[in-house]
Chain A
Amino acid sequence: MSKGHAAPVLYAALAERGFFPREELLNIRKINCPLQGHPDMQKVPGVDMSTGSLGQGISTAVGMALAGKLDRKAYRVFALLGDGEIEEGQVWEAAMAAAHYQLDNLIAFIDYNGLQIDGPVTEVMSPEPIEDKFWAFGWHVERINGHSFREIATAVEVAKKVKDQPVIIIADTIKGKGISFMENQVGWHGNAPSREQAAKALAELA
C-alpha cells in the first residue's frame, strides 16, 4: 500500500480476512489503537510495510521483489500507488530499478482517479502521458477500468505472463464512485462523512 492514506480500505480488507477483529475498525486513527492513520507493519498483522510518506512504498516493493528473485521464490509483490503519488521523484528511481533488475514478479497498480489534494492531477502536476512514461521506463503497461473486478483480474493474469519486465496496471477510477455527493469531488479526498452522510452513502451503494 504505497498510497498509505488508503489505509482504511486496507484495514477493512484485513479485518474481513480475519487478521484482527472487525470491531477494531471503529477505533481507526484513535489513540492507543494499532490502526494508525497510515499503515504500521509493527502494529498491524497483515501489513507488510509501513507507509504513508508517498513514493516510498514502491521502493520497498522493489526490494521485496528483488529478494524474491534472489531466493528463487515464486511469490509476487503487489503495490498500489496513487496518481498524485507518482509526482514523487522516488517513484521514478524505483521504476528505473525495477526494470533494470527485470522484476517480472512485481505488479504495481496506479489508482488513477485524477484528483489530488489541491485539485485535478492534470492541473496540479500532470502525470501525462502516463502510459508512455512507464513504457519508456521499461515497464509493461496495462490500462483498465478500475471499477471492474473482471478487468482487474484479467490484467493481473496478463501481468503474470509478462517476462523480464515489471508490470504497471493503470486503473481508471472515479473517486467516491456510486455516491452522488462524493463522486469526483476533490473535497472528499481526506474527509470522513458525518453520520447522516454515511447513512445516505450506504443507502446509495446498497
Chain B
Amino acid sequence: MKKIATREGYGKALAKLGAEYENMVVLDADLSKSTRSYEFCKHYPERFFNMGIAEQNLMGVAAGLAATGKIVFASTFAIFATGRAFEQIRNSIAYPRLNVKIAASHAGLTVGADGASHQALVDMSIMRSLPNMTVIAPADVVEAEKAVSAVAEYEGPVYLRLGRAAVPVIYDENHKFQIGKASQLREGHEATIIACGIMVPESLQAAAELAEEGIIVRVINMATLKPLDQEMVLRAAKETGAIVTAEEHSIIGGLGSAVAEVLVENYPVPMERVGVKDVFGESGEPEQLLKKYGLTVQEIKEAVYRVLPRK
C-alpha cells in the first residue's frame, strides 16, 4: 500500500486554497519545511509570515490577523502548539472564538528519533477540553487534504492534527470528509473498532485478520474528535455491543475518553482502549515505537479478544 505523511496533504491543500481564499494567511514558527506550510510560502510569499521560534507570539499574531477577517493557519509541531502555547490558544483564540486553524504536525509517537520531548501524546486531550475548539485527526493524506479545505470553509478555531511519518493511503479522491461526521470503513456485528489518525489503517488490518478467524468487526474512522459523531458511536454500541478504540495518543483524554464519555452516559457497553498507556515515549524508528508502546494490529486484535467475552 502506498504510504504518504498526512502533512503532505496539508501542504498540498494550502498551495491550492491560497488561490481560492485571498484572505488566507499562513504562519509558522521556524518549522515551515517540516510542517509543509512552506508549500503556501512558495506560492503566496506575501501572505506567509515566519514568526521565528516563538510559539506564544505565533498564536497571538494569528489571533490578531483573524480579528481583522483573515483565515489564519498557524503551524508548528503539535507538542509546542498545544503545550507551550496552550494558554495563548485558550485566551487569544478559543475564548474570543477567532478563525484560527492550528495545523500541528509531528504529532504522536511517529515523530520518531526526536524522542519524548517532541512526541505530543496528549495534544488532542488538551485541545478537546477547550470550549469553541474543533479537533480533527485525519487518517491519511487524502483525508488530510480534504480536512484542510473543510476547516478553511468553517468559521472558528480548529485543531488539525498531522503526522510526520509516511502512513498508508486508505482513501481515494471520492472520499467525502465532513467535520463532525465519522466514516464507517468496514461492516461488522460482533464489535466495533473506532480509530483515528494512523491507527485507522492498523484497525482495518486487524479487522481483516479477525475476519479470517471468524470474528466480524466493524471499523469506524472517527476523524473528528470534537464535535464527536455521537450517533455513529451509539449505533455501533447498539448494533455490535462492544467497542475498542485505537489512537496514537495517550489513553487519557483523547479518542478513547471521548467515546467512553458518550457510552457511559447513553448506552454503556464493554469497551477497551488501545493507546499510549500514560507514559512518555522515547527515541526510535516509528515502527519500533509503535510496537514497543502497543499501537499495533496485534494490540488491537487482543483488545477485541478481551472485549468480546465481556459482552
Contacts and interface: CB of A to CB of B under 8 A. Distances in A.
Interface of A: 40-42, 48-53, 55-68, 70-71, 89-90, 93-94, 96-97, 100-101
Interface string B123-141: 0000000000000000000
Interface of B: 25, 46-47, 49, 51-52, 54, 56-57, 59-70, 87-88, 91-92, 95-97
A59 to B, nearest CB: 2
5 contacts: A60-B92, A62-B64, A63-B62, A67-B65, A90-B57
Nearest to A101: B49
Contacts of A94: 57, 60-61
Given A42-B97, A50-B96, A56-B88, A97 B67 contact: no
Nearest to B47: A70
Contacts, number: 103
Given A42-B96, A59-B56, A90-B56, A97 B51 contact: yes
Question: What are the 3 A-B residue pairs with the smallest beta carbon separation, nearest first?
Answer: A63-B64, A59-B60, A93-B57
A89 B55 CA distance: 11
Contact of B67 (A48, A71, A90, A93): A48
Nearest to A79: B64
A66 B64 contact: yes
Nearest to B55: A93
B95 A50 contact: yes
B86 to A, nearest CB: 11
Contacts of B91: 50-53, 56
A96 B58 CA distance: 12
Contacts of B52: 93, 96-97, 100
Given A41-B96, A49-B63, A56-B91, A64 B68 contact: yes
Residue with the highest number of chain B CB atoms closer than 10 Å, among A59, A64, A65: A59
Contacts of B51: 93, 97
A59 B67 contact: no
A60 B64 CA distance: 4
Nearest to A58: B60
Contact of B54 (A60, A71, A97, A101): A97
